[in-house]
Amino acid sequence: MGGGMFGRCDFVVVVVLVGLVGSVSGIGVNWGTQSTHPLSPSKVVKMLKDNGIQKVKLFDADPGILDALKKSGIQVMVGIPNDMLYTLANSVEAAEKWVSKNVSKHVSSGGVDIRYVAVGNEPFLSTYNRTYETTTLPALQNIQAALTKSGLSNRVKVTVPLNADVYQSSSEKPSDGGFRPDINSLMVQIVKFLNDNGAPFTVNIYPFISLYADPNFPVDYAFFNGYQPAINDNGRNYDNVFDANHDTLVWALQKNGFGNLPIIVGEIGWPTDGDRNANLQSAQRFNQGFMSRYMSGKGTPMRPSPIDAYLFSLIDEDAKSIQPGNFERHWGMFYLDGQPKYQLNLGSARGNGLVGAEGVDHLAKKWCVLKPSANLNDDQVAPSVAYACQNADCTSLGYGTSCGNLDVHGNISYAFNSYYQVNDQMDSACKFPGLSMVTDKDPSVGDCKFRIMIQTDSAVLHGKIGSLPTVLCSFVIFLCCNLLF
């Protein structure tokens, strides 16, 4: 689901992927950038190196980020957004220009170790209503042709990060797996093309979504602790959904004659907020469980070789669409300011500790809150909270979230402060009529943190906050109707 995708929102319990031919070096991470106050690329690259992260997956080809990755020793997968697929599918020249600008330039003279081009991102999600079904393969073919023409096709491989809903099983057993009937022919064409060009199959795996989508899903089956009773599939035992979903893909490939095609786990992780199952403890449990598997070199029953994977994600993104769910903004191992959320051993010399970003300056220690004297029956309360949440981030409010236990005053203050911080603590951003005030007393309560934004050169322009992805109407109604009264 990555940067702005709806991938995690296709609530298919089959969510999956992995296995790679040959040995795998260090773990990779997804670096998404849909943030109102992004860390500078140079700080993020240093953070990657400090944590021993050797591979990074990007969702576009931002020149500032690629410049920061020069001579870093970090392997890079650059991305092509879905909205570019039509142009690239219909113009070889456009594909050649894209490769020249975003790959050749950085590889030849820039010292950027680009290994993959990700053509599109989860383009076959059912939520896209077949929008990209006719353009993905032609775009893939044209980018491959452009790489070949530039002399880079042996060094840089194409791939298409796909959601696990492109395949399914008619039972709980992986051996009954196959590609989704409506796109089976297209998937076989894409797989054949990848195979012919020595390229990998990339799929995003989200056991969290299995739990999110199905209240009856066994919680422990989403983790790596040996859930029992295991599923016995012709002598192969599956005690976690990751293995089962991954091998469903392997069977789908095998049944179509491509049983040895390399597989990359494009995204795998667990969110820390925005849902009752999204919290620090579960995220640490899942990611450490996965990393322990990864570091041991253990694959899956069908693919016992080491896994090639990219954790999702590096840093929270407070401007992502929350259409799939409020958890979308909380996938990071690090908060918006680059500070680690929990202990995690990534297999580097640092051991169990994640290393945070250095030299990050925060705004002043002040918050916008509800005035103690404010009248909760004021007609301005509900629209003020709705406006704040539409134009900032209130996804930590609600049932089972980190701020789910706040009272009415706390909910309103949280909304006001979120808007205030996103707008760089401008005086005018704490002028909710007769309701708000600025305080230097931290209103945080327990695990509910009223965060202060960081100072950035590229912070949101004052007065331009309306360009942020709008919070779902239902969520605003939920806030106004349920949290306030």
Give which of 328, 334, 275 is closest to 469, Cα–Cα.
328
Domain count, the chain: 2
Question: Does residue 299 share a domain with residue 195?
Answer: yes
Question: Does residue 224 share a domain with residue 177?
Answer: yes
Question: Does residue 223 share a domain with residue 276?
Answer: yes
Domain that holds residue 150: 26-332
From the candidates 96, 267, 317, 328, which is the catalytic residue?
Answer: 267
Question: Does residue 189 share a domain with residue 145?
Answer: yes
Spatial distance between the Cα atoms of 454 and 456, rounded to a whole number of angstroms: 6
Spatial distance between the Cα atoms of 131 and 213, rounded to a whole number of angstroms: 24
Respond yes or no: is residue 267 known to be catalytic. yes
Give which of 427, 368, 451, 347 is closest to 37, Cα–Cα.
451
Question: Does residue 119 share a domain with residue 214?
Answer: yes
- Examine residue 175 and state whether it is found in any structural domain, yes or no: yes
Reported as a single tens digit per residue, the pLDDT across 77-126 is 999 999 999 999 999 999 999 999 999 999 977 799 999 999 999 999 98
- Examine residue 324 and state whether it is found in any structural domain, yes or no: yes
Question: Does residue 217 share a domain with residue 324?
Answer: yes
Stretch (H or E) spanning 410:
helix 408-422
| Mean pLDDT to the nearest integer, 126-150 | 97
For residue 178, the domain's CATH number is 3.20.20.80
Respond yes or no: is residue 122 known to be catalytic. yes
Joined together, the tokens standing for residue 469 give 């992805």
- Examine residue 2 and state whether it is found in any structural domain, yes or no: no
Residue 458 has a pLDDT of 46
Question: Does residue 297 share a domain with residue 247?
Answer: yes
From the candidates 122, 133, 172, 358, which is the catalytic residue?
Answer: 122
| Mean pLDDT to the nearest integer, 155-172 | 96
Question: Does residue 256 share a domain with residue 109?
Answer: yes
| Mean pLDDT to the nearest integer, 232-238 | 97
Question: Does residue 415 share a domain with residue 373?
Answer: yes
The yes-or-no verdict on residue 473 having pLDDT over 50 is no
- Examine residue 353 and state whether it is found in any structural domain, yes or no: no
| Mean pLDDT to the nearest integer, 154-178 | 97
- Examine residue 55 and state whether it is found in any structural domain, yes or no: yes
Give which of 390, 383, 471, 482 is closest to 433, Cα–Cα.
383
- Examine residue 238 and state whether it is found in any structural domain, yes or no: yes
Residue 344 has a pLDDT of 96
- Examine residue 381 and state whether it is found in any structural domain, yes or no: yes
Question: Does residue 373 share a domain with residue 278?
Answer: no
Reported as a single tens digit per residue, the pLDDT across 173-218 is 999 999 999 999 999 999 999 999 999 999 999 999 999 999 999 9
Question: Does residue 391 share a domain with residue 272?
Answer: no
Name the region of 22 (left: φ>0; alpha: ψ -120 to 50; beta: rest): left
Reported as a single tens digit per residue, the pLDDT across 270-307 is 999 999 999 999 999 999 999 999 999 999 999 999 99
- Examine residue 471 and state whether it is found in any structural domain, yes or no: no
